[in-house]
Amino acid sequence: MRRLTGVVGVALGLSLVLASCGGKSGGDSGSGDGAKSVTIAIAAEPLEYINPLNENGSPGIQVAMAMFAPLVTTDPNSGKLLNVMADSVTPDKTSQTWTIKLHPGNTFQNGQPLTAKDYVDSWNLTAQGSQAWKNNGFFSKIEGYEALNPETPEGATPKPTSVKALSGLKQVDDLTFTVKLKVPFSQFGLTLQYLGLAPLPEEIRKDPDAYKRKPIGNGPFKLAADWNAGDDIKLAKWDGYKGPLVPEASAITYRFIPNADTAYNEFLAGNLDFVDVPSTKVKTFKDDAPDKWVTSASSGANYLTIPAWDERYKNPKIRHAISMAIDRKAFADLVGLSVPAKALVSPDMDGYRADACKYCDFDVTKAKQLLAEAGGFSGPVNINYSTTSASGQVNAEAIGNMLRQNLGVEVKYTGKTGSEITELADKRKLDGLRFSGWGHDYPSIEDYLTPMFKSNGDANFAHYANPALDAVLAKGDAEPDPEKAIKLYQQAEDIALADMPLIPTFTKSNASLHSDKIEPRVSKFVGVSALWATFK
């Protein structure tokens, strides 16, 4: 489901675990025509393009889930891996070389046959650092990655290299390719359900920019009409999709409404079929929409992100002091449907430890002591918040008041759109703290650690690096025994918690509203989905 940055109080919205549902009485339909069409609200700024290989945010991934099909997925009924585009995924005895065979007969939505070459070429394209695509880091475990990603000054984009292909990727035949990893990685088969590995057809690979708003996927839905940035995204069912888990809907409209409260009100007005409940409505949604709600525990975690590039936060005691100055119970109560977090991973992951964090207890005396030992803090602490989040400023001020009252530091606030915050942080130009969130792409504790804490992780919000953590992650990756691997990943989590580039804050139960014509798919393995809703 991937990450949200610069935002707090917004539902992560993809990988959810059902907790309880509302009843089944009637009401208005979001689309009003009785057809099997669904209008889904996404409380975020409109997308600028659709390309799953260059997308790791929740809004873009939601759209990609409809238009692109992964190699494998988690079966919503059994929780086991289910082949989608893949016919088989087979590791060698060491889990270092993997053979992937594709189902025959699949095509892209332009009629081009889907082949092993499409995967190999698409992955090679993304792995080239000069492309600066967001999922580049996902390929860092494959042999030959460094040749496509030369050492580059911090914050700069790598220059094009003469090498254009990962040496570890080999096409065997039209439907088979192999992946040789730099070291054994027992979790690799799980990672193949990530949509950031989706293939692009040849015509897009030749000129990706020309197809930024004309995507050609291989999933159950295709663009129903021309799409311009800022427009709703209208999709129609594609009859050529031959994979499993075919949605019932014949048409999907994704409506981007940056203000979550506005999206909520649009649902109440009968203009939507599905919307996430914003944190401002957690106490009223059951009365606002009786029998049209479902609540769920999120497979996600939320953090306060420390900028590793800012020397003022370099001393870990300062980061520990900030963490211990936060009353997580009060903050979780303010956010709503939330509980305090003292770990970096989601509670539903194997290997989760409820009290993994040694510096997450609310202790004002200790927080002040740590700040004094660090020599205090120079200048004001700036807290960035998203102006497109209904509760962004309120939550920022709540954290700021705790830091001011409990540490005696000066605090200021800066409101920007979520995309502005992310862009500045990506360039290491953001001043101060920001909120971030994460939800796994595949059900493994490793997916909460590698992306955010590995030195070249593709969701390393803080731009944090620690060779010791990288080494422990590598040992966990290479460990074939799942229980032993978890122990190693927990060691990596302990290192990250001691360094604390991200401060865990809360985990959130989400709530969603749905029109009376649909019943969202619910699964304790993959959660709540309007995309795979059934119709009444």
Q: pLDDT digit string (tens) for 117-157? A: 999 999 999 999 999 999 998 899 999 999 999 988 877 88
Model-wide pTM > 0.85: no
Residue 27's pLDDT is 36
In a domain, 246, yes or no: no
Whichever domain contains 301, its CATH number is 3.10.105.10
Residues 394 and 496 in one domain: yes
- 110/17: higher pLDDT: 110
Q: How far apart are CA 112 and CA 126, in angstroms?
A: 20
Mean per-residue pLDDT of the chain:
90
Name which of 189-203, 224-238, 291-305 the model is least confident about: 291-305
Residue 251's pLDDT is 97
- 179 has which bridge partners? 98, 169
Residue 155's pLDDT is 72
- 237 has which bridge partners? 221
Average pLDDT value for residue range 158-168: 95
pLDDT in tens, 295-342: 877 778 999 999 999 999 999 999 999 999 999 999 999 988 899 999
Boundary of a domain, candidates 192, 223, 254: 223
Spatial neighbors of 38 by CB under 8 A, at least 6 apart, are: 30, 31, 249, 251, 252, 253, 273, 274, 518, 530, 531, 533
Boundary of a domain, candidates 199, 223, 247: 223
Q: Residue 28 pLDDT more than 60?
A: no
Q: How far apart are CA 122 and CA 202, in angstroms?
A: 9
User: Band of the pLDDT at 26, cuts 50, 70, 90?
Assistant: very low
In a domain, 529, yes or no: no
Q: How far apart are CA 467 and CA 369, in angstroms?
A: 29
Q: Residue 345 pLDDT more than 50?
A: yes
Task: Count CB neighbours of 226 within 10 A.
Answer: 9
Q: Residue 2 pLDDT more than 70?
A: no
| Total count of domains within the chain | 2
Residues 214 and 313 in one domain: no
Residues 390 and 497 in one domain: yes
pLDDT in tens, 407-451: 999 999 999 998 899 999 989 999 999 999 998 878 889 999 999
pLDDT in tens, 486-526: 999 999 999 999 999 999 999 988 789 999 999 999 887 78
Q: How far apart are CA 223 and CA 216, in angstroms?
A: 8
Residues 308 and 453 in one domain: yes
Residues 357 and 448 in one domain: yes
Residues 211 and 313 in one domain: no
Residues 194 and 339 in one domain: no
Residues 356 and 478 in one domain: yes
Q: How far apart are CA 384 and CA 392, in angstroms?
A: 9
Per-state percent for the chain, helix, strand, coil, to nearest 5: 30, 25, 45
Residue 419's pLDDT is 87
User: Band of the pLDDT at 472, cuts 50, 70, 90?
Assistant: very high
User: Band of the pLDDT at 171, cuts 50, 70, 90?
Assistant: very high
Q: How far apart are CA 400 and CA 349, in angstroms?
A: 31
In a domain, 273, yes or no: no
Residue 181 backbone phi and psi in degrees, to 5: -90, 160
In a domain, 472, yes or no: yes
Residue 148's pLDDT is 96
pLDDT in tens, 370-396: 999 999 999 999 999 999 887 899 999
Residue 480's pLDDT is 83
Q: What percent of the chain has pLDDT over 70?
A: 94
Among 508, 528, 526, 509, which residue's Cα sits nearest to residue 518?
Answer: 528
Q: How far apart are CA 141 and CA 181, in angstroms?
A: 6
Residue 362's pLDDT is 98
Name which of 225-229, 398-402, 483-487, 506-510 the model is least confident about: 506-510
In a domain, 282, yes or no: no
Residues 70 and 182 in one domain: yes
Whichever domain contains 157, its CATH number is 3.90.76.10
Residue 17's pLDDT is 33
In a domain, 244, yes or no: no
Q: Residue 89 pLDDT more than 70?
A: yes
Residues 344 and 492 in one domain: yes
What separation in angstroms does the CA of 352 have from each of 61, 209, 348, 447, 470? 25, 41, 7, 12, 20
Q: 328-335 and 392-407 are packed helices; what angle lies between their axes, rounded to 10 degrees?
A: 160
Domain range spanning residue 145? 37-223
- 195/14: higher pLDDT: 195
Boundary of a domain, candidates 179, 207, 223: 223
User: Band of the pLDDT at 5, cuts 50, 70, 90?
Assistant: very low
Residues 193 and 67 in one domain: yes
Residues 474 and 347 in one domain: yes
In a domain, 56, yes or no: yes
Name which of 4-13, 279-288, 460-469 the model is least confident about: 4-13
Residue 87 backbone phi and psi in degrees, to 5: -95, -35
Quote the tokens at residue 313. 């936060």
Spatial neighbors of 1 by CB under 8 A, at least 6 apart, are: 12, 13, 14, 15, 58, 61, 299, 300, 439, 440, 441
Average pLDDT value for residue range 99-122: 98
User: Band of the pLDDT at 482, cuts 50, 70, 90?
Assistant: confident
pLDDT in tens, 64-76: 999 999 999 999 8
In a domain, 198, yes or no: yes
Amino acid at 320: H
Residue 106's pLDDT is 98
Average pLDDT value for residue range 33-48: 88
